[in-house]
Structure 1
Amino acid sequence: MSYTVAPPRSLTAFLSVPAPAPRPAARPAVSVVVPIYNEVDNLADLVDQVHAALAARPGGFELICVDDGSRDGSDRRLQALAATRPWLRPLRLARNYGQSTALQAGFDIARGRCIATLDGDLQNDPADLPALLDRLDTDPDIDMISGWRHQRQDGALSRRLPSRLANRLISWATDVQLHDYGCALKVYRREIIERIHLYGELHRFIPSLAREAGARIAEVPVHHRPRTRGQSKYGIDRTFRVLLDLLLIVFVLRYRQRPLHIFGGLGLAMGLPGGMMLLWLLGLKLVAGQPIGQRPMLMAAVMLLLMGLQFIVAGVISEMLMRVYHEGRPHAQYHLRTDVTPPSAQAPGRDPGRDPDGARRAA
């Protein structure tokens, strides 16, 4: 009788058997991002209503609730709800950063092909989401759909009137005509969200930022419900902050890539009148022999000329900074539409920035 002895295996071989790699979670079709701040009483209904609206939708969904430093136990309630709901992904920020940052945090971890947003106070109706998502899926000419609360359930003086004035002002200043910039119920294609970055209070101007990123926008009437639980986080001071933020967004949208146009324009508007006033005073001194040293016009002319020169210099410096910014970026300063294949004017695989011998051409 003969025996075949297998070659010995080292102890390391037994101890280092690789564990199977975890299977990556399937990417859902829709990611719903909701910023949460002290809404503990509304969370259970919010989660159930979103599930009821999207559970039957093909491709699945995920609900990302971003707790923006709540102090009423909203974070604990979200964790408890997520324990039995694998599609609920709570995210807790270290402190209260504001709605824009909370939305950006949700966008950063969203995995869906489409991304939707709504408020956590239940004034937006999650039942409107399927219709908006269906419109986005079936209409290739739309990249973003913004809700319009055409029958708002808020106080006329405290909310509706200031909002109406703000909407008209923002539409006029940004040339993006919407009835309701403040409605949080919106849906986007993923590529649009990836092109914008929110900070400060820019969540109010997402449609303008999306348009600047190449989005084609539609507006659809949606339901609006009165707040029944919790306390509103908005006050009349929000109107004044909107005006200040509007100045920033107009500058960013119109002059970000050509700052000399705004600074240089202001400089010329001040410097030219100042220079003409100085020439006039010089003529009075040389031709008519009149004293000009005590004239208020002399001081005004000098101030206007100096301020104009300062604005022009600021514009030149800004242009140089923008040149450094764009030349140092690893990617282009434009976006291509993913539904259009750009024509190719070269052989496949050839880099237009290289010579035939493979050397990179100098810029």
Structure 2
Amino acid sequence: MKEKLIYGIQQIGIGVKNADIAFKWYATKLGADALIFDDSNEATYMAKYMGGKPRKKRALLGLNMQGGGGYEIWQYTNRKPSKPENEFKVGDLGIQFPFVKTNNITATYNRLKISNENILSEIKKDPSGVKCFFLKDPFDNILKIKEHTSFYQNKKIDVGGIFGAAIGVSNIDVSLKLYKDVLGYDKVIFDKTDNFDDLENLKNGSKRFRRILLTHSKKRVGGFSKFFGTSEIELIQCLENEPTKIFKNRYWGDLGYIHLCFDVKILKVLKEECKQKEVPFQVISQPSFNMGDANGHWGYIEDNDGTLIEFIETNKVPLIKNLGIHINLKNRNPKKPLPNWMIKAMALKRVKI
């Protein structure tokens, strides 16, 4: 019997006003300069999350070739995206911030400080004892820069891609049914209830929370699993105030973190499992869907609080468009990882800025 495979966190979606400016920042400051696709068309499948009708958009996917998930920079082209009704507070329902891996946190901190980026805290340790600090991009999105040992390759830049995210939930125990049982984050790194020093520089961060940090006990195998590496999910639950939904009264694609995306295989098996676990797919594309020059099969579910989780079964990744050279994943052994030369060939997609 075929089984689902989760290769890792592929990307986090970020709604922005100007995709070119956003891509440039993530490429130059966080090394995500491999432009995997640049897609401008009408988003039709997600109409239920966009006011009930298709919307024109532009989406760019940038990867850091040192490994980890990327950034899907997403911009409406026929409407002005709206910002949150209220300023983000720790514990609000939705994606709080991604985890960006660094192999030298002091170097990363100093480099960003010298370039006058908006650093929100000094280097501290989170409850797992790992050094981290918080950064705000020019578009008001918070990122957690955190030490990590799983790098696909080490180049000159001190940061890699995304290896996790913190998600605000109303009830951790209920949310674990999805994040642990379906997504496979079954290993608890910590589960603590307290006031936390590492959050105190963020709005609402001095309050008391329950926080649980999860990773996967089983090593991811196949496809791009070596490139994406190990990953973590942190669930944060408010205990002293009523959280608000970050995307309350707004559309998918409006400003902020719009989804967390996992690279998967055997999507139809995952779809059936999600249905059985009472987190059914809300949206699913046709089996062969073009995303710019890339191609795949994708769908979305909602967690218990409405946060959107995307799954993509990638069929094709373009390398050199004019020559028709691409990575074909459709008929490969799903448990066999891509060879290193093939993954490193994606460096051909790097953009000089």
Scaled to the shorter chain, the TM-score interval is: under 0.3
* TM-score normalised by L of structure 1: 0.24
Flag the structure with more relative contact order, 1 or 2, with Cα contacts below 8 A and sequence separation at least 6: 2
- Greater Rg, structure 1 or structure 2? 1
Kindly indicate which of the two structures has a greater share of residues assigned to helix: 1
